[in-house]
Amino acid sequence: MRRALWHQEHIKLFNKYSGLAALFFTVFYGLVDEFHQKFIPGRTSDINDVIADTVGGLLYLLVFWFLSRKKVVAEPTE
């Protein structure tokens, strides 16, 4: 998702802060998914799933930041 936000041209804020925007959408999607699961028979809604989604997104950003500082991962070109 970060790369998709990086390459889009309509909302410059998403382009500039693509990693944070991707984290926001990850957390938002997790919240919406858990809300939706409350209404599905046989499924349960659990805040721990939202926390796991958030931690996963933060870990991605941390690893990407670390690797990009080491120049292992190059920023996408326009």
What is the rounded CA–CA span in Å between residue 5 and residue 49?
Answer: 24
Nearest of 34, 32, 33, 25 to residue 57 by alpha carbon: 25
In the chain the first and final C-alpha atoms are separated, in Å, by 16
Is 61 or 54 the better-scoring residue by pLDDT? 54
pLDDT, residue 16, reads: 67
18-59 per-position pLDDT tens digit: 778 888 888 999 999 999 999 999 998 999 999 999 999 899
Alpha-carbon torsion angle 34, 35, 40, 45, nearest 10? 50
Domain residue spans in the chain?
2-69
Tokens of 65: 């930041």
